[in-house]
Each structure stands twice: as structure tokens, then as C-alpha cells.
Structure 1
Amino acid sequence: MATAALASERESDYLSQLTMAAARYANRTERREKNQSALETRGPLYADAPERVEKRLARLGADWAMIRAIQRTPTEPASSAGSTLQLPPEAFTSEVLGLERLIGRNNLTPVAFLEEGVQVSRSVGRITINGPGGGHGTGFMVSPSLLLTNNHVLRGMEEASRSEVAFAFQDGIDGSPLVPAVFQLEPLRFFVTDRALDYSLVAVAPRGVQGEALSSFGRLVLSEAEGKVVVGEFVNIIQHPRGEPKQIALRENQVVDVLERFLHYESDTREGSSGSAVFNDQWEVVALHHSAVPKIDAEGRPLSIDGTVWRPETGEQRLAWRANEGVRISRVLRALHEAPLSGEAARLRDEVFTTGLAPSPRESAAPMPPSDGRPTRPRTDGSQAQAQEQTHAADGTVQLTIPLRITLGFDTPMSSQAALVAPLSALAPTSKAPPQPPPTGRPDVVAAVEKDVDAALINHRLTQELPYYDRTADFAARDAYYAHIGTGDGDGLRRALAMLLTDTHEPQPRYKPMRLVYPWVDLHKDGRLHSIYSGRDFSAEELIQADAAVAKARLARVQELLLQESTAGPAEFEAEFDALEASMPFNCEHVVPQSWFAKKEPMRGDLHHLFACEVGCNSFRGNFPYFDFPDFDEAVRDACGMRESVGFEPQEGKGVVARATLYFLLRYPGQVGDAAREFPEDRLPILLRWHESEAVTEYELHRNAAISEIQGNRNPLIDHPEWAREIDFTGVWS
């Protein structure tokens, strides 16, 4: 094909790309304006979908409790430590600074941010297409052998076969250019492309033209998990604009919209930036940059900076820009998963996904080259290609892949002095063989537990600055919440409340007692946690540490199970994990037992029925329904209460658990009561008696307000105790 024809085809493809990007942008105008309004009035946490925000916070090791504490803490002019928060110096952690930045309270970032940026930039290179229709683009290594770029940069194998990538094509710190390392592309070994998602994945020669090792430039670890960025956050783009030496568009590039397959963001990119990696502030790849969004006329045609219709021959530098568009990296990976490959091609494709827990850029990227630009010697420990058997989900849980996938929510933190709450001897693995260390290269998931501890303790420390309960503000919030609820018809009142509780239950936190229950929600006014059944009190730190010990012991047992040879199928493994959880419970009570709703979310994580409870009382109650024993006061009973075959009556907290159970019946009608051991309809009078005999306390008012801030809905029996006799509960069992 003639050079002119190739150039014309490339220009036509680019014009088509621009036109489609502009159309997508125009079609989202209303949504984008709503996003912008939310960003201006409330901030990034409220501009995106609640489930995306929750996943983002989980990925950052944070949650709504911490965010709300930071939002509500009064500010003052920046101190010498640089923060606007009134916190002691030891509280200035990267997590707190990162969350302050996310909600617009502080623009500080740890200096390691720059160091990590330098490391990840090593894996980004300039692509040169030689011969007819040639040009430049950007690409980045995503496995030991494969480079990712745009389809419109490398449209086919023939074009890729005459292309090369140059790493370290950049200036050194003294301003002089480094010596780039040039590698040929090898599409005959691997080439996959997708025009709709505008990506091409191609093999790179393992040695450069001067003998350099490709492995010395590392790779960027990609993740399919959601929660890497939300509307309102800023992204960073490492690129080779117009084929020039490597440059970066740093941070002032705000995400303005998230589509099903694309991101729209404002940034300073130029021609030649196609195929660049778009990073969040943790240097995770969130998108593959592929197109500018141009200004268009009424007919949808791109405009030049002088207002005339733009033509490819006038040059990309003449285009009038509005925004930029990137393909979401999770969508690229999903499509790559589905590509019909076999043999060596399938093996190379799978290397993109053998990442396990994404290491930090310091761990995943190769060291910087010496000042003469020569790449350093490649690593020889094989760690880059080490297949991992564990991954982190977006919600912060840990997934272990066996014959089936089981998700373990290590929703609590660090090691412990938990003897007061649960003797450590009882938490030890039951197998005679000691736990084996994970294989080389397997991520340390115990570190994830420790990270949860740190976040929980930060949560607890931040909330110490908050008023325990603001009656005026809470009563105003209560009145607004029920403003459209009418009384008089018992069944109508029940239906209206059920709908309100469901519609306002956003976000829906997963079961994380260490992070959400102990640090703030369940605290009493004395600053301590009181067991719901025994009344025994503990510090928040005690239960956080105790649950961390449980999480670590569970993990040790899980590792043993995985290392043991077994022919057990999915049902047997599930039974093993259920037994493990039952034998090593957390210090948290579901007043409606988990077995009644098969441990499903959002019931399992609904804070309105979660309470601190030492494991002894937790196990003593089991899943027995509540019961009112006539001889309770005279009977010899456990400190937690009295239990017989007919049920369980707690020593303390009867009014509290009654209101929590009544809430559950309203919020989840039809979920309980359909089995003999579950709460039957004929025991409703017990709950109503307990509710009326013990008035709502300030502790419950505090809980209700705190939970409302975290998950959006409220408990009507706390806000309006008089409604208990007005509501027709019979419909909750149908």
C-alpha cells in the first residue's frame, strides 16, 4: 500500500476516534453537570455512585467512619506539621493525609509519591512506527514480555512488526538526555488488539538492540478490581507527547465522569500521548489514555482553535480540546480474559494476570539506571513472574483461590493481648502441624490485617475529638428523615418505613466490626465498649486487637488447609470454612443471627444490629431466638443471660436488642421466621415488652446518629418509640 494511502487510513481512524469520543462526552453532559455540582457543594465522596465510593475507600484502607470523623473535625490554619486537622503529630499518617486530600481538606502528599512516580515511569516507553504511515505513540510494560498501547497506534501485526519501543527516552536530573534502550516489537510471538476498546497488546524482544535486558525496565501491575478512582479525584499521565522525551501531566487532571468503559478527565496531553498509562495517586493504572475530546460544531465535527472545522491535514496541534478520554483498565483486562488464545499465546496473556497483591511501585518497577542511561542488570530472583495465589478484592477482603473461590473478610486488625476477651490458646490452629510459611513471592496477607488495625485505631483516635451526641442536630436530621411518613394505618406505616429504610441504605458497608463497630459506633459515653449481653466493659483497643488475633489465627488455619492434600469438593471446603468461623468468632454480636440469613450482605454488615459482645457471650447465645423466662430472676444463669432449648434471654440490653431486632424485621421483611429455630411471629410480644420496659438511652441515640452517617438509614424504633404499637408487624413474616 502506498505511503499516502497508509497515512490517509491512519488519519481517518483518528478522526473517527475523535468523533466517537466527542459524542460520548456530549451525551453525558447532564450527568457531568450533576457531578460538578456535587463536587462543588459536597466533594468527591458524593459525586460518584455510593458503591464506587465505598470500594474506593476500602482500597485506600479507609471507611466512612474515618471520613466522617475527618470531615467533622474542626479545622484551623495549617500547623507546622502541615495539616489542618487538630491532631497530635503521631496521627499524621499517609492514610490521613490521603483522605484529607480526597475530601479537599489538604493538598499535602508524602514525598514518597514522587519517588514512586519515578519508579513506575521506568516501564513507560515511546513507540516508533517505522516505514509507510509511520509516527509515534506511547506504551507501557504490563508483564515481563508484553507492552500495552492503543489499537490506533498499532492497528495490526504488519505495522507492529516494523515498530520499536524506546525506554529511558528522557532527560536526566542534570538536564542532559539519557541514552535510550530500544527494543523491537515481536507481534509474531504475541499480538492481540481490540478496535472498540482501542487497545493493542504486543510482545517485546527480551533484549534491546544494544543487548539491554527488557526485565530491567520492570512492568506495571494491572488490577481488575474497581475502586481505583472516583469522580473528582486527580490522575497522573506519563507520556511521550508528539514523540518527545518522556513527560508527565501531574495531579491537576480531574476525573469528571466515569462511563461503563471509559473515563473522562481534564489534563494536559498532546499528540503522541496515545497509549499512555493513566495513574491514580497510589500509582495504580486506572485507564489507558486513547483520545482527546475535541470541541465540536452542531453537526458533531471537531473544531480547530480558530473555530473552523478541523481536518487531519491541519495537524493535531490545531484541535480545540475540551477534555481527554481513557479506556478503563478493568475493561481492557476483562476483554483480554475473553480473548480466544491457546498455547504459548495463552501463557503470555496469563502473565498479565499473575500479579497477586499488587506490590508498590518500588517493588514492581526496576531501579533507576545510572546517569549514563544504561539500564541496570535485570533481577534474577524470578519474583516478577511468580504466580500469586491470593488477590485483594476491591472491598478489602482477601480472596484465596482453591477449587472454588472463598472470600475471607479479615475485617479487623493487628496482633493482640486478647486473653481477657478470648484466650489465645483457644485461637490457635487445631492441627498438630505448625502453620507453614507461604511460598516465596506470596503476598503477606497478615499485613492486610495489620493495616486494618492501623485504620481502626486512626478511626478511634479521630472520633475522640467529636461530640458524643449532638441532640439538636440529630433531632433535625430525624425530622427531615421521616418528613413524608404518615401514621394511622399500621400496615401502611410498616410498608412506608420498609421502603424508606431500604431506599436510604446507601452505602451498604460490609461486615467490618473492627473498623466500623468498635472505634465509634458502639462506644458508650464513658468512651468504652459495653458487652450487649453481660454489660462487661472493654476499651476499643482491646476488642480491635482481640479480633485481629482471631483474624490471624483464621488465616493460619486457612493456610494449613490449602497446604494439605485433599480431594474435597466445594461443599466440603465451605463446611470447613463455616466451622472455622464458628470456632473462632469475633467479639461482635448479630442480634439477628447470621445463620438465619445465610451470612448474606447487606444484612451481615448492617450496623443497626451489630454490637460489641465478648466471644464467650457470643457463643453462649448462639443462634437461639430471644425468649422471656418467667423465672429469670430466680434462676441460676450465666453472666450473659439464660439459655434453654426454647431460647435465650440476655442479662443486659433487652430494650436495645428488641429495637435492633424490630428494625431488622422492618428492613428485611420475609428474611427470618421461616424455620423452627428462627424468630417466630408469636414472639413479637416479647420484643414489644422489652422495648417498652427499657426507654431509649443516649447510647442508642448516639449509635443511631453515627450509623445514619455511615450507611444512610435510621432505626425508627429509636427515633419514634411510640410507633412500636402503631406498626402492623404481621407483614414482615409473610
Structure 2
Amino acid sequence: MATAELVSERESDYLSQLTMAAARYENRTEQRETNQNVLETRGVLYADAPERVEKRLARLGADWAMARAIERTPTEPASSAGSTLQLPPDAFTSDVLGLERIIGRNNLAPVAFLEEGFQVSRSVGRVTITGPGGGHGTGFMVSPSLLLTNNHVLRNPEDAHRSRIAFAFQDGVDGGPLVPAVFALEPQRFFVTDRALDYSLVAVAPRGTQGETLSSFGRLVLSQAQGKVIIGEFVNIIQHPRGEPKQIALRENQIVDVLERFLHYESDTREGSSGSPVFNDQWEVVALHHSAVPKTDDQGRPLSIDGSVWRPEMGDQQLAWRANEGVRISRVLSALREVNLTGEAARLRDEVFTTGLTPSPVESAPPIPTPTADGGSSLAGANGSGTTAHSKAQEQAQGLPSPVAGGAAQLTVPLRITVDFGTSSVSSAGLLATKPALAPSPTAGPQPSAGRTDIVSAVEKDVDAALINHRLAQERPYYDRSADAAAREAYYASVDTHDGDALRRALTALLEETHTPQPRYKPMRLVYPWVDLHKDGRLRSIYSGKDFSPEELIRADAAVAEVRLARVQELLLQESTAGPAEFEAEFDALEALMPFNCEHVVPQSWFAKQEPMRGDLHHLFACEVGCNSFRGNFPYFDFPNFEEAVRDDCGMRESVGFEPENGKGAVSRATLYFLLRYPGQVGDAAREFPEDRLPVLLKWHEREPVTEYELHRNAAIAELQGNRNPLIDHPDWARRIDFSGVWP
């Protein structure tokens, strides 16, 4: 009787998982069909949320500019590497190849892809539950001691106690079977499970039954960082279907939907695959495979392949499948962080997050954990409840900045601060001639060499990506007048121009609604390679008119980004740093000491350096350091004696304001755009642009008509962030728009 009850309970759990997965899949039918339509008509870059796509691109060392440029290149191979890109072989990197694979332009992969896949597969094993109600599943090592699998594979410590994990249960290169290494599970040391998220984490014996060492099979490093996979991308699953030798479902497994806690994907998995790791093409774990999605009848009951209602005793092989479902690994980690553990159990749990981790140059700092378990979850530690404990190493790791491809670092000081690093310059008039040097603070602790290496690596990735963006840009038409005219007409099709106030409100709503994605402030990656180019392929300082090559400013800004990031690490290691206010003051001083070669025509201090204003490309222009500093945050002003005055090459500045030497028409239209896009952000403090200065902008706008350079900028920016500048598209609207409502 006890055996029958055990089997019934296990079958009931499995049926429940199938039913819930089917319900989730059914409830998302409309969204999934929308996703599929977008994938077929526009491509993988547009099916998921823009912020998720942007984070995915950043994790690959790419951005919208590069992705859009690749989409526009001819499909014929243009390099010896087999790329569809018009790039020299030495510029064709694995990052570029990864981006091409994502957007479906190339199925080539570096040979290292297979080598890395083999390495990660060593940490995946077959779980065998012995005794009554036993069976097989899959699991994988996520720390030196802990194995991750499904709750419905190991439901409780008793199940785990009578289970084994076998690594290397697979065929060798000669086709013959390898000798598996079998290890006992030790739930008495550690066992945590969550039924709602369908995961179980259990300790594994350090020695196998034949004396093998567990450490020789490694572990898979898990990350909560966002940007590991998006809708339309293909994933890989290493598994033990039906308890058979290890197999892999490679690439032909497409993500069709992303839910709050789950992923849905089409793949070839079978029973016994429960508990398998789901990987992206960089072999990062993105999900814990836990259930197939069965076909169901109108009552939600799973169906068999012959159309009848499926029953557990019929076996999984008789189920009619529709798709598969995995638990997002970031949600598993968030829930695991919230489990109340103490002592040795807490230490073992913390190893999942800390041991063996080397910060990736493209990885954002992990988000602050939030509980994800709902009423259906069951979280229990091996030693009962207690206070949440995180190791000192983990806390220190979370306090250090983690550089990302876009030059951003998230810092915990103790609150979260996001610092964006742009770039600076090389030898040329008005630029920094050498990389700035800062004397280390006498209170600073030793700087870890690994941190400096990561900084350099992150900045080098930015430089490489920016130069590739620029090379791709050189193959494109500078400005397609007919295509832009059609885009302009479609963009403003619903705007009524009869009433000035209504026109302003309509434009503000349109600019906000279409501002997707919202790129962060990355002039090196977005402004210099393409957006701000003149027709001769050069950059010109918006105020002085001096010209520079894009590579010159890219490498110059990279030098400052590297020094800034290193200095931030030093600040965080200072024992004397009292808190966020002191840190912010020091960082403001650091920015003033090392300004970038990019001008915000609406100064950052006017909107507290907040996004999306800071990264809005419509008001970012190349500008050498000297002019950037000379203007400061003075509002624009029209000096009566400007032509006769002795002035700097950048323009004239007095206490009342700043008048540029060049670019008045362009900066006036950029400022007017800002007023429309962000009403209420300007003029709420002294020294900001007051309402009585509006005539200055309108006069400059009318005196200097829109140029082809601005038309190119506007079209290029529309590709990258979705919205357009109405003052460039319709200069006559400047006098029709009632701007009185844009000031606080």
C-alpha cells in the first residue's frame, strides 16, 4: 500500500506540472502568435522588449547601430571568414559572428563553440532514483558541492537520499560507452526545494563510488545578469532523455515566449530530460528545463498521440507534445537567495553565487534579490529556518563595480548607483594629449589586478565594436532622401497642425511613444561611428567646427573611460568613503577633471544626469574637450556684439550665457526637440534655459536652415531610438508650436 501511494503521489505531481505548463502556454497564445509574426516580418531584434534586446546586444559586445548595420549589408559572403559583413578578416570576431547568428544572417560558429560545449557538458549527469517509484532525470553541478535539478525529480530529502548522479554516462569518440562516475547525494548536508519554481538543490558526495573526485567534473556558473537570451534566439539543451546516455538538442530550439518566471521553446526533449540545463550560444545557462507542454483537450487535460486523454500509466512516450518549458535561471537564483539558512548550509548556498566567479566584462551587477516564491512554493533548508546569511566574500563582490560592454558599472555603496562611462581623447588641438593620470588616494586599499584587467577588457570591447560600427557605416549611403521622406510622412501621419497647443501635446506624445529603444549614454559606440558623421566621413566639433576622424575620438574617449572606471574602483575601496553623497561629489569632480568629447546641448546638470535624457542621441554632438568645458552648463545666449568681440574658438561666454561660434541652427533644433520630448525638465532652477530665451532658439533656427548633415543625423537616430526631431522634419512648425507649456 505504501508503494502504491508513493507512485500515485509522484504521478500526481507530474500530471500537475504538465497541466500548469499547458495552461500557461495556452494563456499566451495571442502573445506568442504576435511574437512569431514579428520574427517572420521584422526579425529577432524586434520580437522581445526593447530593453531586453538592448541588454542582449550589450552582453554580446554589440549595440543597435551594429545590429542595424548588419541587417542592411548585402547577404553575399564578403570575407574569408564566411561572414555576410563587408569587413576585413581581422575585424571579424566571435562577437560579430554571435550577433550574425542571432539575427539569422549566418550559421557559422567558431570551432571553440563545440569545445566549450564539451567542457560544460562534463558538469551534466543522469540522476537515478532507486527503489519504489524510481526513475531518471538530469541534473548539473552549480557549485563545487551542489547539484541542481527539478523538484519533481527530487521532491524531498528522502528521494534524494536514495538517488545517485552519474557523470560521463555517454558514448566516447569511438562510439563505445565511457565508464560513468557515480556519486551519492547527501541531502543531510544540504537540500533546498521549491515546488512552484520546480527546482531542487542538493549536496553531492565529494568522492564517487570508485574514488573519483567530484571536482574533476567542474560546475556551471549561474548568473542573474539580464541579456542572456531573447525571443527568437536558439538555445541548446544537454540532457539524458529517458535515462539514456547524454545527448544534446543543438540550436534548433527556438525561444518562442518569455514569461515572468518561465521560457517557452521548441526543442527535441523527452522524458528524463527534466532538470537539464538550457544554454544560449555562449554556453551560459538561461533556464532549468522542467516540463514539456502537452496538447490538451477543451478541459485542459493532456492528450495522447492517438487523441485520447493521456493517463500517467500510459507513459511519456504516448504524450502529444506542443512545446517545452524551462524555469528562468535568474528566478531560481532570486528564490535561492531568499531561503533562510545558517551555518554550513548558508556557506554552501553562497558558493553558488561566489566560488569560482570571474566577473565578465559584459555582465551587469546582479539585481537586488526579491522574493519570487508564491503560496505554492516550499522552501526548506537542511537545518531548518534561521536568518538569511550571505558570506563576506559575496557582500564584497556585490560592492565592486562590474563593467559592461556599454561602459556602465553598477555600484553598491550601500545603495545602487549606476555610473555611465563615455570616453575622451588623443593628441590634437583642444584634446587631451595623453591618458590622464590620477595619484592614488593614500587611504585607498590595494586594487585587485583582476579588476584592472576587466576594466581594460571592457573598454577594448567598446573600441572594437565602435570601429566595426564605423567600418560598416562606410559601406552605407550617407543619406537616402527618398526613403527618409517616406519615413517622415508615415511618422507624422496622425499629427494635426491646426492648433499650437494641441500640436505641441501631440508631438510630445509621439516622441515619447516612439522612443524605443532608449540607448544609454555611449557616444563612443553610437555618436562617433555613424550618427554624427559629416558626408566626408569626418566628425566636426559642434561649436568650433574643428574636424577629427571617428577613430581619433573613439580611442581618445576610451582612454578616459578606462581611467574613470579605475578611479571609481579606487573610490569604492577607500575606507574614508562615507556614503552616497560623498561618492557622488567625488565622481562629479572626476567628470569635471576628465570631460568627454561629446556635448549635451541641454547640460546634464539640468536633468540630474538621468536616462533617457542623458543618452538621447538627438542632443548629443561631437565636441572637443576644450569647447565642452568652455560652454559648461551656461544657457544659450545671443550677444549683440558677438561679431566684434574677442572670443574663444568655441564661441563667447559671459555670466548671462554662451553663444557658439558654429552650429547654432543644429543646437537650436536639438534644444527645441528636448523641450518637446521632456516638458518640465528645463527652467526649473537658476541658470537653466528660461522661457524668455525661446526667441534666441527660434532666430538661430530660421537663420541657419536644416543641412544634409542634420537630415542624416535625424534618419540615423530614428533607426537607433525610434523617434525623430520635428524641427528638422518640418522647420515651419517652429512658429506654429505653442512652446509655452514646456516650462515648469
**1:526 and 2:528 aligned:** no
* 1:422-433 pair list within 5 angstroms: 422-424=431-433, 427-431=436-440
Indicate yes or no: 2:688 matched with 1:678: yes
Residue type at the aligned position of 1:357: P
- Which stretch of structure 1 is more off in the superposition, 602-611 or 565-574? 565-574
Which one is further off, 324-333 or 387-396?
A: 387-396
Q: In the alignment, which residue of structure 2 is the partner of 1:408?
A: 419
Report how far residue 410 of structure 1 moved: 3.5
**Residue 209 (structure 1) aligned with residue 209 (structure 2):** yes
Partner of 1:369: none
Contact 1:435 1:559 in 2 (8 A): no
Match of 1:366 in 2: none
Q: CA deviation at 1:81?
A: 3.5
Other structure's SS at 2:633 match: coil
Give distance in 2, aligned partners of 1:500 and 1:385.
45
Give the one of 715, 718, 727 matched to 1:705.
Answer: 715
C-alpha contact (below 8 Å) 1:129/1:159 kept by paired residues: yes
**Counterpart of 1:649?**
659
**Structure 2: which 5+ residue stretches go unaligned?**
363-392
- Give the whole-Å Cα distance in 2 for the aligned partners of 1:27 and 1:596: 45
Shift of 1:211: 2.3
The residue that corresponds to 2:402 in the other structure is: 391
Q: Is 2:480 the partner of 1:470?
A: yes
Deviation of 1:186 (Å): 1.5
Q: Distance in 1 between matches of 2:670 and 2:630?
A: 19
Q: CA deviation at 1:202?
A: 1.2
- Cα 1:18–1:396 shift into 2, 3 Å: farther
User: 1:553 corresponds to which residue?
Assistant: 563
Q: Partners of 2:419 and 2:282 in 1: how far apart? A: 25
Partner of 1:309: 309
Partner Cα separation in structure 2 for residue 588 and residue 97 of structure 1: 30
Q: 1-side partners of 2:252 and 2:286: how far apart? A: 16
Change (3 A) 1:18 1:442: farther
Other-structure match for 2:669: 659
Deviation digits for residues 593-620 of structure 1 (CA, Å, limit 9, x no counterpart): 0110001000000000000011111111
Report the AA paired with residue 525 of structure 1: K
SS in 2 for 1:406: strand
Alpha-carbon offset, residue 395 of structure 1: 6.5
In terms of mean alpha carbon deviation, does 85-94 or 504-513 score higher?
85-94
Distance in 2 separating the partners of 1:441 and 1:258: 33
Which amino acid in the other structure matches residue 31 of structure 1?
Q
The residue aligned with 1:375 is: none
- CA drift of 1:197 comes to 0.6
SS of residue in 2 equivalent to 1:115: helix
RMSD (Å) for aligned C-alpha atoms: 2.2
Structure 1 stretch displaced more, 168-177 or 61-70: 168-177
- The letter for the 2-side match of 1:42 is R
Letter in 2 for 1:686: V
Does structure 1 residue 720 correspond to structure 2 residue 739? no
User: What is residue 367 of structure 1 aligned with on the other side?
Assistant: none
CA deviation after TM superposition for structure 1 residue 338, in Å = 1.6
Aligned counterpart, 2:91 = 91
Deviation at 1:555, TM superposition (A): 2.1
Task: Tell me the SS of whatever aligns to 1:177.
Answer: coil
Pairwise CA distance, 1:436: 5.1
- Kept in 1: contact 2:422–2:596 (CA 8 A): no
Residues 78 and 567 (structure 1), Cα distance of their counterparts in 2 relative to 1, 3 Å cut:
closer
Distance 2:507 2:468 in 1: 35
Is 1:173 matched up with 2:184? no
Indicate the SS of the match to 2:402: strand
Larger mean CA deviation between 20-29 and 76-85 belongs to 76-85
* Counterpart-to-counterpart distance in 1, 2:107 and 2:430: 41
DSSP-derived class of the 1:10 partner:
helix
- After TM superposition, list the pairs within 5 Å mapping 1:178-327 onto structure 2: 178-327=178-327
Q: C-alpha displacement at 1:463, in angstroms?
A: 0.8
Q: Residue 450 of structure 1 aligns to which amino acid in structure 2?
A: E
Q: Give the secondary structure class of the aligned counterpart of 1:391.
A: coil
Q: Please give the secondary structure, in 2, of the residue aligned with 1:76.
A: coil
Which among 632, 636, 647 is matched to residue 642 of structure 2?
632
Q: Is the alpha carbon distance of 1:420 and 1:405 closer, same or farther for their aligned partners in structure 2, counting shifts above 3 Å?
A: farther
Shift of 1:333: 1.0
Whether the 8 Å contact between 1:449 and 1:551 is mirrored in structure 2 is yes
Paired residues of 2:638 and 2:696 also in contact (CA < 8 A): yes
Residues 102 and 199 of structure 1: is their aligned pair in 2 closer, same or farther, counting only changes over 3 Å? Answer: same
CA apart distance, 1:298: 1.3
Give deviations 1:646-670, integer Å, cap 9, x for gaps: 1111111001000000000000000
Matched ranges for 1:15-164 at <5 A: 15-76=15-76, 81-164=81-164
**TM-score normalised according to structure 2 size:** 0.92
* Cα pair distance change 1:392/1:305, threshold 3 Å: farther
Offset of 1:58 from its aligned partner? 1.1
3-state SS of paired residue (2:45):
helix
Consecutive unaligned residues of structure 1, counting only runs of 5 or more, are 361-383
| CA deviation vs aligned residue, 1:433-454 (integer Å, no higher than 9, x gap) | 7995515688622201111110
Q: 2:60 & 2:718 partners in 1: Cα distance?
A: 22
For 1:432 and 1:163, locate their aligned partners in 2 and report how far apart those are by CA, in whole Å.
56
Deviations 1:286-342 (A, max 9, x none): 100000001111111111111111111011111111100000111111111222222
Of all paired residues, the percent bearing the same amino acid is 81
**1:392, distance to aligned residue in structure 2 (A):** 5.1
8 A Cα contact 2:361 2:455, kept in partner: no
Change (3 A) 1:177 1:419: farther
Using the size of structure 1 for normalisation, the TM-score is 0.93
Between 1:556-565 and 1:16-25, the stretch displaced more is: 556-565
Q: 2-side partners of 1:178 and 1:441: how far apart?
A: 41
Q: Distance in 2 between matches of 1:440 and 1:719?
A: 49
User: Displacement, 1:385?
Assistant: 10
> Given that residues 432 and 625 in structure 2 are in contact (C-alpha distance below 8 angstroms), is that contact kept between their aligned partners in structure 1?
no
